[in-house]
Structure 1
Amino acid sequence: MSQPTTAPVVQRNDDRNRYEILVDGKRAGLTAYRDNGDQRVFFHTEIDDAYAGQGLAAQLVQYALTDVRALGKRIVPVCPYVAKFLKKHDEFTDITDPVTPEVLRWLEGELG
């Protein structure tokens, strides 16, 4: 795929419980969450193959985690990509909660 003509745009889509990254107006990827009280539990991140290798996942997750902070919520990184991102970005340590068996059971119930 050719390089985008405009800068990627990230937006929160509360109706679908996810953040989306748009390239030239088309959804290129998403990171999905569910809220458990004051915790925003991230469980899945994906970038469409056509947009791979452009650093979009990092831009998407950076925006999402910054938004979580602005909302006064906490992060629970069930998603392996979000967990990996957090290991390199310690500026979110103060608002990150561990993934516990209780959170995993709750998430399983949420997702059916």
Structure 2
Amino acid sequence: MSNTLPKIEREDVGGGKGRYVVRGPDGAEAEMTFTSIGTHQIIIDHTGVPDAFRGQGVGLHLVTRAVEEARAAGKKIIPLCPFAAAQFRRHPEWADVLKR
């Protein structure tokens, strides 16, 4: 696993939908998609990490970015994506942004 975390870009596609994406040099993309619900909540609906990124912590890096941005904006996260939900179970320090 590399000590350098890849750059994450945020893309807002309209209608409250968007994604965080990491692009590899070979064109592979890892993504975590989200939907904003009003001004205070987001749903993480999907995390996809292709084989090119496996074992590098990219999926966790994507969810962590969403947590950091939600915390800074005073938002709550509803992790519908199974991967994101598992990460919330593993990281009790994120409880302040978890919508219960």
Q: TM-score range by the shorter chain?
A: 0.7 to 0.9
TM-score of the superposition, structure 1-length normalised?
0.73
CA distance in 2: counterparts of 1:8 and 1:92, whole angstroms: 22
Name the aligned partner's letter for residue 11 of structure 1: E
CA distance in 2: counterparts of 1:28 and 1:55, whole angstroms: 14
**Higher relative contact order (CA closer than 8 Å, sequence separation 6+):** 2
CA distance in 2: counterparts of 1:13 and 1:27, whole angstroms: 16
Structure 2: state its 5+ residue gaps.
Answer: none
Say which one has the larger Rg.
1
Equivalence map 1:1-112=2 (5 Å): 7-15=5-13, 17-24=18-25, 26-37=27-38, 38-98=40-100
**Contact 2:28–2:52 at 8 Å: present in 1 too?**
no
TM-score of the superposition, structure 2-length normalised?
0.81
Residue deviations 1:22-49 (CA, integer Å, cap 9, x gap) = 3348453010111111110001000112
Identical pairs, percent: 32
Which structure has more helix as a fraction of its residues?
1
CA RMSD of aligned residues (A): 2.2
